[in-house]
Structure 1
Amino acid sequence: MAGYRYGPYHEGPDPLAPPYDVRAALDAMGDSMLEGTNPGDALRDLLRRGLPGERRRRGLDDLLRQVRSRRQELRGRGRLDGTLEEARALLDRAIGQERAALFPDPGDDARLREAELDTLPNDTAQAVRRLASYEWRSPEARRTFEELKDLLRRDVLDAQFRGMKQALSDPDPAAMRRVKDMMAALNDMLEKDARGEHTQEDFEAFMREYGEFFPEDPRNLEELVDSLARRAAATERLLASLTPDQRAELAALMAQTLEDAGLAMEMQRLGSSLRQRRPDLDWSGSERMSGEDPMSVGDATTALEELADLAELEGALRQDYPGARLDDVDEEAVRRALGRQAVDDLAELRRIEAELERQGYLKRKGGSLELTPKAVRRLGETALRRVFAQLDTARRGDHDQSDAGQAGELTGGSRPWQHGDEQPIDVVRTVSNALRRGGSRAGGTGVRLTVDDFEVLETERRTAAAVCLLVDLSYSMALRGTWGSAKQTALALHTLVASKYPQDAIQVIGFSNYARVLPPTELAGLDWDMVQGTNLHHALLIAGRHLEKHPEHEPIVLIITDGEPTAHLLRDGRSSFDWPPSRETLELTLAEVDKMTRRRATLNIFMLADDERLVAFVQEVARRNGGRVFAPTPDRLGEFVVRDYLRVRRGGGG
């Protein structure tokens, strides 16, 4: 036989891996949507809160709190003038050591040197420039001044190149020559790229030669430019954050240091290139630090660079701008600021968003998110479970049975099975038919059944119903906090009818200034209408057409509202609004109520407010139609509506 070798699968996602489970995420979104939130806002809320349950992951709000805490910690780390303070201290020590060496000498040369020291400017940068050519009498003073120059050289270059302190820890002049060579090669590479001549091979050759200067280990020129530009911008913000005197002094020290090191021209070339490539960075802002410990220029630049990254990351995590997506959040910035765990949390949140679309729960249309029928079915089942949890067990009846379908009560008889029957099998009659046919197996070990042997138990056939649920969408529903309950009730009732009474024809009608039929996919993500008008007249017109399409069905009309009619349809199809309600609005609406009465359709109304005008109107409807009036609290609306539907379906009448 041919040999086989087994190894990891590298051609994409594991084809045998179980599908990613997003049901918990959809259920969490459903909690928001069943309270009246649209799918886009519900997804954003979920991503803000994080993933619940066993797959618990931190949300964007948790990451934001960590970012803000990190920013506060950085601001309290220290002062930005640490290098100036240390430079002044070293300068004062060198001058003191030189004066101590000159004092015992009675000669004129000593007095001339003291006079030169006396006339040094107060500005540290100018004093350093003057002392650059001074012939030190004291060896200790000379060493201190060299220490000052080494400090400035390391800190100034570290402000431009992260980690330069380590690279320049060796005082060998060859180290500075290597820095000069690196900067020249870097500038040449940037200019070559500006001409369109740069290649990845050029970058890799540069990194092989000078990689020790770039501990971030960039993978290409763009990553290197991004790192250098962010640091250069942070250096500019450092200078802007100092007092005017401190700024002038430190800028002069940095310029003097670069000039003494022979790097001034190359640094100017680099700074110009970086600004041209990244004009989007903040090159002129400032930052207030509240710590007490002095920080070096390099450390202060690192702190300000990190603060800028955190500010940018905070803006991305807030997701409060048009078209915001999790893909906008820079994963590398999250890693730098918050660590590996935060990256994993972000990846999980991204996966939730992607999987909800990939697995067919969400779809994008016109830039907005919509629920698919698959998602609506699950949310409807959730809403229905909540409603049934409120109903007494004794009231559930046959809605806990899996064989409800079109089957009713057993009659005691049976009949031959026909294709499509959902009634229970009559096991005794079926086996008896097989035995009479001679279907027993040899040796008496069993019975062979054929299709003709099967019989089913006869049941009473239920009457089909035409169900109309009229839901008020006016903005008063949102103001009173009842819209979420109405939406959940409508979704629950639709799911109940579709799953347990498929022979019934249900239509959900929403009404505000106009009325419209609400399909299930729109219903779950529906928001209330910020318009004036409660056009029950139009809603009853649409409901009437639905009942007329199903003349053999038992009519069931349920109305959820929190206000009396304030709008009606004109002959030209436009909506007319009046407050208080006009006589014409009331008359036209009651005329439709009378038509419903003639259709033998009982109107049961669920009031979500107790306004005097509303109470008077619904009492008149009940008087004309014979329907019932309910006044449930919002949290029990679903229980009332579903219970009423089940009562009518069981023959409880209006």
Structure 2
Amino acid sequence: MKDRTRFRRYEGGDPLAPPVDLAEALDAIGEDVMAGYSPERAMQEFLRRGGQDQRGLDDLARRVAERRRELLSRHNLDGTLQEIKELLDRAVLEERKQLARDAMMDDGDRAFREMQLDAAWSDGARPSPAAAVSELASYDWQSRQAREDYEKIKDLLGRELLDQRFAGMKQALENATDEDRARVNEMLQDLNELLDAHRRGEDTDEQFERFMDQHGDFFPERPGNVEELLDSLAQRAAAAQRMRNSMTQEQRDELDALAGQAFGSPELMDSLSQLDANLQALRPGEDWGGSERMDGEEGLGLGDGTGVFQDLADLDQLSEQLSQSYGGARMDDLDLDQLARQLGEQAAVDARTLQRLEKALRESGTLKRDSAGQLTLTPKAMRQLGKALLRDVAQRLSGRQGQRDLDKAGAAGERSGATREWAFGDTEPWDVTRTVLNGVLRRAGDPDGPLVEIGDVEVQETEARTQAAVALLVDTSFSMAMDGRWVPMKRTALALHTLIRSRFRGDHLQLIGFGRHAEVMEIEQLTALDAMWDKGTNLHHALLLANRHFRKHPNAQPVLLIVTDGEPTSHLEPDGEVWFSYPPHPLTVAYAVRELDNARRLGAQTTFFRLGEDPGLARFIDSMAQRVDGRVVAPELDDLGAAVVGSYLGSRRGGRGGAGGRGGSGGPDLGGWFGGRGSWVG
């Protein structure tokens, strides 16, 4: 037997579309992580918002909600009753016409028939459709057309009741013969026997196979086993029950009374009632008790209404899937086929792209689970995010270069990539490749010469580079979070960390966060730090840690960078306890000044980055900077990263430039700043 190639419709959207944009996703996730979100939540938020050219879960959920509202506002549940009323109107009208035309009929007989019609169904007094159908059941119709319209009511009821349980039956049984109806009754009996056996726990595999062989044409979805058959039947039966629950009591009473007329066979209702009982017992978890309010203008028949209630159930499931708010939620939970049915193919393509994006994020090495099972950003992700921030910094620096290498062909240093001929006294390592190549080229003209002569030797040039011990002190007090400075602060720290780790690896960077107390932090710890709501700005403790860092690297140039939006309001007591006071106490300021002086004695080049427009803070920072011959930069929040990186690069060139923004080191001295706050403690 030859293999057959099977083709199906391509379901991946545009095959020429670019791959998912992880860079955009990583930038957005990094921003949210630095704002205090967990990486898991940050990823979910990006998937919810979507990207620049990618619809997110929120947009899909909005469309699902709109579709649901549209179904509820368009329809009402009176469709079958309205259709029965129309058939009754037509039947009675045709009968009246026939009575008026029949000249051979006795006047008394005509009057009696007119009275029967008036009592059952007339414009002046219309009883319920169920009562009219029942009263006219024994009426001897004179009009063939009227009799056919009346018989259509029974046929309609039968097809509608079956369509509620088996989608498509209303159309399939139109103009059905008695033989067709007998087949339906036989199928229902066999189905109930199968479900009864399954309900009793019997092995029904063979019985199911026989049932499908005989009645499979009633089930175009072709279930593979009893459980699949049960699922499809129970979902539709539950939708039919929810539709019934949503009707008024009058509508339910009318349909119950009419149901016995279906196909003119009460056995049909008995079989359907038994089927409903089996399904509710076997699938109690389905929603059998829900209801909806429908007050639109378009009437729904029983079968179509059941389909709409199935659509509503599908939309509710999609809404839950799109919310991703339950435990263990994943994008793979989305039912793309269901989404395509309800919102169209493009919605499924958008959702599939989000699934690919989530999978790529989890598998690309940007996210990992820690020992507690929580997602965290990997070092690779931190590097990528840092590089993105550096690109932004580079644009803001407007092309100003941060070259700080002191080129010098000398003894110790890093290799520059250049080589030169060896000279007496050189201690640089040989460039073996260039040396051997020189010997080979020389021997091409003198084959008998030595393999290597002294003139062949080349050494690798090195360049002496300055080293820096950098302390970046970032304010983590509650005002930083309250005034929207939390994320720019983290972005700045990550940009500087990435620059030093990638380009200036010989420098020693220490990140110090200071709120009520200070703490040395790794970059991963700082970027994941939640907003701190403890009051206190302990610059004294932060400077203590910075000076300790400078002393550990006595041969490096100290660079002190301080980002803050407040005056110092806490300090460390000799016993290590934190002391807090607001307004700032002179003793607290004195402790901070003393450590700042120590940093100056260690040779630190100091730059303050003042955030905010408080005049008191400006006077204090200016005085501190003037005291240590430092600089003050007052950048906008968006320019903070460029200002700090530029200042670092400028400091490493041995100068004091390199950062944009307003600045200045003038202003009153510290004594002047303390005016009105108590005597200054030196």
Q: Normalised by the shorter chain, which TM-score bucket?
A: 0.7 to 0.9
Match of 2:550 among 547, 551, 566: 547
Deviations 1:71-130 (A, max 9, x none): 344345443312111101212332343445556533766655554444437111232233
Alignment of 1:80-159 (within 5 A): 80-101=77-98, 105-106=105-106, 113-120=113-120, 122-159=127-164
CA 190–340 in structure 1, closer or farther in 2 if over 3 Å, else same:
farther
* Counterpart-to-counterpart distance in 1, 2:119 and 2:87: 18
The aligned runs of 1:154-303 (5 Å cut-off) are 154-198=159-203, 203=208, 205-254=210-259, 256-257=261-262, 260-276=265-281, 277-281=283-287, 283-290=289-296, 292-303=297-308
Residue of 533, 536, 539 corresponding to 2:539: 536
Structure-to-structure mapping, 1:557-572, within 5 angstroms: 557-569=560-572
Amino acid at match of 1:455: V
CA distance in 1, matches of 2:264, 2:582: 81
Equivalent pair of 2:550/2:558 in contact (CA under 8 Å): yes
Q: Select the residue among 466, 469, 472 that pairs with 1:466.
A: 469
The one-letter code matched in structure 1 to 2:45 is D
C-alpha distance in 2, partners of 1:34/1:303?
42
The Cα offsets for residues 194-242 of structure 1, whole Å up to 9 and x where unpaired, read as 4444566654554443333234444444444333333233323333444
2:419 matched residue in structure 1: 426
Match in the other structure for 1:402: none
**1: distance between equivalents of 2:235 and 2:292?**
14
Change (3 A) 1:66 1:547: same
1:44 aligns with 2:41: no
Deviation at 1:507, TM superposition (A): 1.5
Find the counterpart in structure 2 of residue 13 from structure 1: none
TM-score by length of 2: 0.80
Identity %: 42
Stretches of structure 1 that go unaligned for 5 or more consecutive residues are 9-18, 400-406
Give the superposition deviation at 1:356. Answer: 1.5
Amino acid at match of 1:279: G
Structure 2: distance between partners of 1:560 and 1:280: 59
TM-score relative to the length of structure 1: 0.84
- CA drift of 1:488 comes to 1.3
Q: In structure 2, what residue type is equivalent to 1:635?
A: D
* 1:602-653 Cα shifts (integer Å, max 9, x gaps): 4321011122342243234324433222111111111211111111111226
Deviation at 1:336, TM superposition (A): 2.3
- Code of the residue aligned with 2:56 in structure 1: it is G
Checking the alignment, whether the CA contact within 8 Å between 1:388 and 1:639 is kept in structure 2 is yes
Q: Is the 8 A contact 1:35 1:487 kept in 2?
A: yes
Equivalent residue for 1:409? 407
Question: What's 1:375 paired with?
Answer: 381
Matched, 1:333 2:338: yes
Q: CA RMSD in A?
A: 3.7
Deviations 1:309-356 (CA, angstroms, capped at 9, x unpaired)? 223312321334565432333333213212343333322212221222
Q: Find the aligned partners of 1:199 and 1:550 in 2 and give their Cα distance.
A: 80
Measure, in 2, the Cα distance between the counterparts of 1:156 and 1:494: 71
Give 3-state SS (helix, strand or coil) of 1:560's partner.
strand
**1:285, distance to aligned residue in structure 2 (A):** 1.5
Q: 1:251 to 1:278 in 2, by over 3 A?
A: same
1:457: which partner in 2? Answer: 461
The 1:231/1:437 distance shift into structure 2, 3 A limit, reads: closer
Aligned residue identity for 2:406: G
When residues 589 and 175 of structure 1 are mapped into structure 2, their CA distance, relative to the original with a 3 A threshold, is farther
Q: Which amino acid aligns with 2:243?
A: L
Asked if the contact 1:34/1:488 (under 8 Å) is kept, the reply is no
Sort the Cα spacing of 1:435 and 1:86 in 2 relative to 1 into closer, same or farther, 3 A. Answer: closer
Q: Which amino acid aligns with 1:230?
A: Q
Query: Structure 1 49/553 Cα, relative in aligned 2: closer, same or farther at 3 Å?
Result: same
2:645 corresponds to which of 615, 618, 642: 642
Q: Which residue identity lines up with residue 480 of structure 2 in the other structure?
A: M
Report the count of equivalent residues.
620
Residues 522-533 of structure 1: matches in 2 within 5 Å?
Answer: 522-533=525-536
Counterpart CA distance in 2 for 1:139 and 1:347 is: 58
CA distance in 2, matches of 1:137, 1:465: 110
Between 1:625-634 and 1:210-219, the stretch displaced more is 210-219
What is aligned with 2:10?
A: none
> Contact 1:34–1:383 at 8 Å: present in 2 too?
no
Contact kept, 8 Å, 1:238 with 1:304, in 2: the verdict is yes
* CA shift digits 1:366-387 (9 cap, x unpaired): 4543100001011111111111
Structure 2 CA distance for aligned equivalents of residues 511 and 258 of structure 1: 83
Distance in 2, matches of 1:44 and 1:117, equals 67
The 8 Å contact of residues 568 and 577 in structure 1, kept in 2 or not, is answered as: yes
Residues 1:409 and 1:532: Cα distance change in structure 2 (over 3 Å): same
Q: Compute the displacement of 1:179 (Å).
A: 1.9
Aligned pairs for 1:585-604 within 5 A? 585-604=588-607
Whether the 8 Å contact between 2:238 and 2:286 is mirrored in structure 1 is no
Paired AA for residue 324 in structure 2? Q
- Report the residue type matching 1:182 in the other structure: M
Residue from 342, 346, 350 that aligns with 2:347: 342
Specify the code of the residue in structure 2 equivalent to 1:408: L
2:362 paired with 1:357: yes
Whichever residue aligns with residue 444 of structure 2, its letter is: A
d(CA) in 2 for partners of 1:450, 1:115:
134
SS at the partner of 2:322? helix
CA distance in 2, matches of 1:510, 1:258: 81
Q: Distance in 1 between matches of 2:164 and 2:151?
A: 20
User: Does the CA-based 8 Å contact 2:154-2:264 persist in structure 1?
Assistant: no
Contact 1:33-1:525 at 8 Å conserved across structures = no
8 Å CA contact 1:162, 1:215 repeated in 2? no
Structure 1 letter corresponding to 2:561: L
